[in-house]
Structure 1
Amino acid sequence: MTAPAADLMSPLALFLHADIVVKAVMIGLLLASVWTWGIIITHAQRLKRINRDTQAWENDFWAAKDIDAHHEARGKDDVPSARIVTAGLKEWRHSVGLSTTDRSGARERLTTVMGAEVEQELDRLSDRLNILATVASSAPFIGLFGTVWGIMRSFTAIAGANNTSLAVVAPGIAEALFATAIGLFAAIPALIAYNRLTHGLDRLEARLNRFADRFHATLSRELERDG
């Protein structure tokens, strides 16, 4: 008697014996979990690579004696700092190319241009992170919907069988609670990953802003010399 009961409580059996609505909830949550894990792994690897490549690029940039020569050779590298330098140099060349250089206006434009580039990089890197937030907030409630539906079905079965025995109601309640468990299984990793990846992006944003500020100071000194 024990073995069959245990078999009925296995995850596969709970899924196979569940109501069609509860099955749909379970499948949807499992697909959401697979999707979120794909986003988590992809973004974690990309963020790690970008941090490593950005650090190496910036070290080479500050070690270079000629910024223009370094930009000519490495300006098209696929790192955020390279694109910040490209945007800054483009604006700086436009400013110094004017017949009369407005130093104050040039500095403001450099700040705006490089700040916008930093924001654009962060927008690009944070793409699809909102999916993690959505799954983290909605999956428990979707699982709860499956649970409520399954429990309602179990009580209907009790009324139809005119039997209040635990053996009658237990399988349906177990199937219903399994839907909540899957919802939590999808939501918890999504929430943790969203917080960790957001923290990583915040640190990267701070690094890029520091780099942009330092490069802005370098260009400002060049404006003083040209003036």
Structure 2
Amino acid sequence: MESGLNFIDLILKASVLVQLVMLALVGMSIASWAIIFQRRSIISNAMDNAKKFEQKFWSGMDLSKLYNEVTARAVNPQGLEALFVSGFKEFARHKKQSTQSTGLVIEGTHRSMRVALSREVEKLESSLSFLATVGSISPYIGLFGTVWGIMNAFIALGEVKQATLQMVAPGIAEALIATAMGLFAAIPAVMAYNKFAKSVEKLETQYINFMEEFANILHRQAASSAEVKQHVSA
């Protein structure tokens, strides 16, 4: 004698609307896990690359040599390398125009790095909004399927003269599966979103700190070059 309820049978015997709700939740869960694995890899690589580049940057290596090395290795630099390339390229371009003051050179360089920073953070945050959406709406979608299934169960119960728990149990059980699926989709999405959002915030802070320190280095170089030019002209 079989005991308990067969979940596969409950899903197959559920109403069409409840089945559609379950299918939607399964699809959202699969998409969430795909994004979770993708974001995990991308953010982890970004952290590793940022650490390696900072070590090389602060090793005392000549900035021009480092710029040539980065641009030769990567067509589209990512992370801190993108900020460095953007800032140094703009700095070199402004520096060729000897009529510009140090303040204007650094302002243009800083502006270029802020644009690069915005682009890099946007890349890191890509698809995180989908995880937040899944985490927010999945329980409600599952609850909708539950309410609909229970409503159908009680309607069917009202059509018989003598109701028993055995008659109503399958309908309620299939309805509750929708809620369970909603939670199954929502919980990993919320946990992953919170973790990734914190990691992106940490990376953004690291990028901003590097940008400010790099701007200070370029400011000292520009000021030193301006002093040399003044002595030569004098």
In the alignment, structure 1 segments of 5+ residues that lack a partner are none
Q: How does 1:1-227 map to 2 (within 5 A)?
A: 1=1, 3=2, 5-6=3-4, 9-75=5-71, 76-77=73-74, 78-227=77-226
TM-superposition CA deviations, 1:59-104 (whole Å, max 9, x none):
1122143110111012354431111111111211222122412222
Report the more deviating stretch, 74-83 or 51-60: 74-83
Percent identity, please: 34
**Could you tell me which amino acid in structure 1 is paired with residue 19 of structure 2?**
K
State TM-score, norm by structure 2. Answer: 0.91
Alpha-carbon distance in 2 for matches of 1:108, 1:49:
31
Looking at structure 1, the residues matched to 7 and 129 of structure 2 have their Cα atoms a distance apart, in angstroms, of 30
Q: How many pairs were matched up?
A: 223
CA distance in 2, matches of 1:138, 1:162: 39
Kept after mapping to 2: 8 A contact 1:88/1:113: yes
1:133-183 Cα shifts (integer Å, max 9, x gaps)? 110011011001100110111011111223331111111011001100100
Amino acid at match of 1:90: K
Normalised by the length of structure 1, the TM-score is 0.93
Alpha-carbon separation, structure 2, partners of 1:96 and 1:67:
14
Checking the alignment, whether the CA contact within 8 Å between 2:67 and 2:88 is kept in structure 1 is no
> Conserved in 1, the CA contact under 8 Å of 2:131 and 2:190?
yes
Q: Distance in 2 between matches of 1:166 and 1:223?
A: 83
Q: Give the superposed CA RMSD.
A: 1.4
Larger deviation, residues 193-202 vs 113-122: 113-122
Aligned residues of 1:33 and 1:185 also touching (Cα < 8 A): yes
Contact kept, 8 Å, 1:64 with 1:70, in 2: the verdict is no
Shift of 1:113: 1.5
Tell me if structure 2 keeps the 8 A contact 1:26–1:182.
yes
Residue pair 2:132, 2:190 contacting (<8 A) in 1 also: yes
Find the aligned partners of 1:163 and 1:188 in 2 and give their Cα distance.
40
